[in-house]
Structure 1
Amino acid sequence: MGMGSDRPHSPVERGRSMTAAALIGAALMAAVDEIVFHQLLGWHHFFDRATPAVGLLSDGLLHTAELLALVAGFVLWADLRRRGTLSSAHARAGLLLGAGGFQLFDGLVDHKVLRLHQIRYGVPDLLVYDLLWNGAALALLAAGAVLAVRARAVTGPGTGR
């Protein structure tokens, strides 16, 4: 099943399509981070600068925010689809841009600026983990940017919202 269809008789909403999907992409990446790295691997909690109970609470709050973002994104996406104004091409770009944006924000702001947590503790060289995490984020952003440029080329520079 695709993300929707661009109907020629309905003006597509390129910006809203990209925004809705970016919200979904960011929420999905937050879910992957929280489930894989926080729960399954147990490498860190969202906030590791306190007790384990506070770390667990912070993971629950992250999970709550991720679920709210996922629901909000799908509500916006469903509304666009219902009205026939979803731009599938822009939504695909937004999904990758949202996922990469979340991951890069987490890797730079949460890990390095705010020092809420690191990717992994007790390893001899954290740089490798940082480079892989942020490199993957940049790859997602680059792929999203390429799709966004292609989407704009297909739909044209007109006044689609």
Structure 2
Amino acid sequence: MSTARPLEITAATRTSRAVKTAGVIFGMGVGGLIDGILFHQLLQWHHLICFSCHPGATIDDVRRNIFADGLFGVVALGLTVAGVIKLWSALRAGGAELPGRMLPGAAAMGWGLFNLVEGVIDHHLLQIHHVRPGPGQLGWDLAFLASGVLLMLVGRRLMREAPASAAAPARA
């Protein structure tokens, strides 16, 4: 039997973890909203499920696309709102002042995670759509995955802890 005492987690550590979690959830939601608005609606390159991406598509196929895109938007908005609620809760709980780059870094991590998961599952495994179907679609899909990796690297860099001498003092 071990006599070691469990490590106590400080309020600052709890707040830091909660803010990171909130940022990742928020970033996943915002990444989904940006994807849906940019690629599905403005550029009209693809839909969540490409019922009308084939010759002979009907108006019913287009309606199914719009409905699936709407469900995708609802999930992305839900993640965004959940991230904001989690952040609000974390900040109300108090703790130490956090480095200003933590939330943007965590949000970039979340957006990058969204791009990686969505890209691997939807574009490569299930192939329910591609970033830009047609000639060069593999290049577009790989660029989307690369953007996810880049966002995660940027997020990680932003979230690195500040040196102890530069850290903000704890709240009184």
TM-score bracket, normalised by the shorter chain, equals: 0.7 to 0.9
Deviations 1:9-61 (A, max 9, x none): 95242221111010110111101100010000111111114722221111000
RMSD (Å), alpha carbons: 2.4
Which residue is equivalent to 1:21? 23
Which residue is equivalent to 2:43? 41
Contact 1:97 1:141 in 2 (8 A): yes
The 1-side partners of 2:12 and 2:141 are apart by: 42
Deviations 1:78-121 (A, max 9, x none): 11122323744432321111000001111111111011211112
Report SS of the residue matched to 2:26: helix
Unpaired stretches in structure 1, ≥5 consecutive residues: 1-8, 157-161
The 2-side partners of 1:52 and 1:71 are apart by: 28
1:106 alignment partner, one of 118, 130, 147:
118
User: Quick one: higher RCO (CA 8 Å, sep 6+), 1 or 2?
Assistant: 1
The 2-side partners of 1:95 and 1:63 are apart by: 18
Q: Greater CA radius of gyration, 1 or 2?
A: 2
Paired residues for 1:42-61 under 5 Å: 42-49=44-51, 51-61=61-71
Contact 1:18 1:92 in 2 (8 A): no
Alignment length, in residue pairs? 146
The 2-side partners of 1:152 and 1:114 are apart by: 41
Give the partner amino acid of 1:78.
W
1:63 alignment partner, one of 68, 73, 76:
73
Report SS of the residue matched to 1:48: coil
Unpaired stretches in structure 2, ≥5 consecutive residues: 1-9, 53-60, 168-172
Percent identical residues: 28
Distance 1:10 1:89, change over 3 A: farther
Which residue is equivalent to 2:133? 121
Contact 1:44 1:119 in 2 (8 A): yes
